[in-house]
Amino acid sequence: MSAHAAALLPAPRAALTRGTVDTPVPATDEVLVRVRAVAVNPVDWVIQGTSRITYRWLRTPAVLGSDVSGEVVAIGSDVTRFRVGQRVFGLATGTDRGRNPLREGAFQEYTTLLERLTAPTPDDLSDEQAAVFPLGLSTAACALFQPQHLGLRMPGDPAPTPDRGVVVIWGGSTSVGMNAVQLARAAGYDVVTTASARNAAIVRDLGADAVVDHRSPSAVAELVTAIGGRPVVGAVALGAGSTDACIDVLARTGGGRLAMASTPLSLDALVGRRRLFPAMLPVFTRIGLATLRSTLRARRRGIRAAFVWGSSLRDDEMGPRLWGEVVPRLLAEGSLRPAPDPLVVGDGLDALQGALDRQRAGVSAQKIVVRV
Ligand SMILES: NC(=O)c1ccc[n+]([C@@H]2O[C@H](COP(=O)([O-])OP(=O)(O)OC[C@H]3O[C@@H](n4cnc5c(N)ncnc54)[C@H](OP(=O)(O)O)[C@@H]3O)[C@@H](O)[C@H]2O)c1
């Protein structure tokens, strides 16, 4: 068996270190990919800093990372959509419960991707651009299209009524938000969203018809005005304070469903602490109480609210449809563009710890990318 280099999380809360792991043989429904670029998501540093509590199933050493682009070097016996040598990008789900983080993590030279969560990289996209898509795009699609969330029609589905309907996306300048804006537009909905003033034009260019600053004290009222009496089909809540703000918008515009993607408090402060205990106790108590309070507020207003899990599309019908049909078609049509722009912060696996730290320090309409 051959081996390759990986950025390993050697133990919970330890720094990523370079190590060697066995190069897997792809299972029947997998492709083996030589990774060329990876992108960083908040969940990567959350897992690194808090997995003893938040990802209790994760055994170390582990390879983190969800966002992969590269080229196919081997295919499983049932794979029909890809061939060796083809450039692809896809969602690595190795840190999920029941998966194998050493085979399926992104931050290494070779990883396996499920055929159903992989798409061909168009010739006009670089590996760095393709790497910005996987988790942001998948989470946006789960929020918008899964029946347990907004349950909207997907791009390509016939529109049942002449009413387009409005989707509210709080956090349109986040990575998930930029993908949600594009997917909702491509499915034929109008989009009202939030972004800071410096990112408003970017989000408008992706398809939002109104953009409000999420820091404005009157942001909720401004969104309600922008909706202007049109029917609202639901809201996607991204970022601190987004859940309650979305509940307020939905309550004032006739209800709808709410897909929540963010914890009410960032885990950032905990990750930076030298010791997790006992600092985690008040943080998780506040998260639990705030979530309970928001869920009850939503219920009292007739709003169905649920948390999104961005890789849950691995196990439903929407995932293969998104990655197999919708994404290749929207990319070819030009109605899906890589967003946010990649910010390449380094080359090689040794750059990954710095990349995680850079993401945690905060980004604004940028996706942190490392070339591998
Ligand atoms: N549940 C899941 O499966 C899942 C998956 C992926 C992400 N997430 C969560 O979804 C959220 C977004 O993740 P991401 O990777 O897309 O984030 P990101 O790209 O790192 O987010 C950065 C952006 O957040 C925006 N922002 C800051 N404060 C905000 C606020 N209060 N309300 C709305 N936007 C705000 C900033 O916009 P401006 O610079 O324009 O102010 C900035 O551009 C995070 O909470 C993340 O943990 C959840």
Domains assigned to the chain: 3-133+338-371 (3.90.180.10), 137-307 (3.40.50.720)
Nearest CA to ligand 1 atom 43: 364
Q: Which atom of ligand 1 is nearest to 359's Cα?
A: 20
Tell me which residue of 174, 113, 129 sits closest to 314, measured CA to CA: 113
Residue among 117, 146, 174 whose CB has most ligand 1 atoms within 8 A, to mutate: 174
Tell me which residue of 218, 193, 196 sits closest to 208, measured CA to CA: 193
Q: Which atom of ligand 1 is nearest to 215's Cα?
A: 31
Q: Which atom of ligand 1 is nearest to 178's Cα?
A: 16
Instruction: Kindly give the residue spans of alpha helices, DSSP state H, lying in the chain.
Output: 42-54, 101-104, 127-130, 134-145, 175-186, 200-206, 219-227, 242-253, 268-271, 280-300, 318-321, 327-333, 352-361
Both tokens of 340, joined, read: 């946010």
Residue among 213, 238, 260, 307 whose CB has most ligand 1 atoms within 8 A, to mutate: 238
* 215 within ligand 1 shell (Cβ under 6 A): no
- Tell me if residue 281 falls in helix, strand or coil: helix
How far, in Å, from the CA of 239 to the mean position of ligand 1? 5
How far, in Å, from the CA of 41 to the mean position of ligand 1? 9
Q: Which atom of ligand 1 is nearest to 177's Cα?
A: 16
pTM of the full structure: 0.98
* 240 within ligand 1 shell (Cβ under 6 A): yes
Q: Which atom of ligand 1 is nearest to 263's Cα?
A: 45
**Confidence at residue 173, expressed as pLDDT on a 0 to 100 scale:** 98
Angle of CA points 294, 297, 300, to nearest 5°: 150
**Confidence at residue 268, expressed as pLDDT on a 0 to 100 scale:** 85
How far, in Å, from the CA of 360 to the mean position of ligand 1? 11
How far, in Å, from the CA of 188 to the mean position of ligand 1? 24
Tell me which residue of 141, 134, 176 sits closest to 365, measured CA to CA: 176
Q: CA 190 to CA 181: how far, in whole Å?
A: 9
pLDDT tens for the chain, 372 residues long, are 799 999 999 999 999 999 999 999 999 999 999 999 999 999 999 999 998 889 999 999 999 999 999 999 999 999 999 999 999 999 999 999 999 999 999 999 999 999 999 999 999 999 999 999 999 999 999 999 999 999 999 999 987 666 689 999 999 999 999 999 999 999 999 999 999 999 999 999 999 999 999 999 999 999 999 999 999 999 999 998 999 999 999 999 997 899 999 998 888 878 878 788 888 888 889 999 999 999 999 999 999 999 999 999 999 999 999 999 999 999 999 999 999 999 999 999 999 999 999 999 999 999 999 999
